[in-house]
Amino acid sequence: MARKSLYAFLSLAITLSVIAGPMVMLSLPSLAAQRPNPKPEKCFALAKQIGASRVWWGRHVGSRERDTMFDWGPRREYFNAIGCFKSRQDCENWLYWKRTEFYDFHAIKPCRRGL
C-alpha cells in the first residue's frame, strides 16, 4: 500500500513539474518587462540637463559571494554606487535590481529628489 502511494505521489510530482515548468519560464520575461534595469546617468550632467531639483537619486552599498571555482582573488564582490535618474520609477527599479544582485546589504538610501 505504501509503495503504491509513493509511486502515485512521484507520478503526480513529475506531471506537475512538466506542466508548471513552461509556465514558470513564461513568467520570468514578464518580470523583466515589469521591472526594467535602467542604467544610471552622471549626476552633474543630468542636473545641468533637467535641473538639480528634478534629479532622483538613490544609493546602494552591498556585497555578494563570488563563485571562486575558476577565479582567484577575494571571495566577496562589493558594490557601492549612487544612481541618478530622471524619474522616481527608474530610481526604484535600479535599486530593486541592485538589491537583487548584491543581496548582502550594508547601506541603502531610498530614492530622493534633488541634489
For the segment 78-102, what is each residue's pLDDT rounded down to a tens digit? 999 999 999 999 999 999 999 999 9
pTM across the whole model: 0.66
* Whether the predicted pLDDT of 3 surpasses 90: no
Number of H helices, E strands in the chain: 3, 3
Which residue, among 41, 60, 43, 61, has the nearest Cα to 52 in the 3D structure?
A: 43
SS3 71: coil
pLDDT tens-digit series, residues 7-57: 565 555 555 554 555 544 444 455 556 789 999 999 999 999 999 999 999
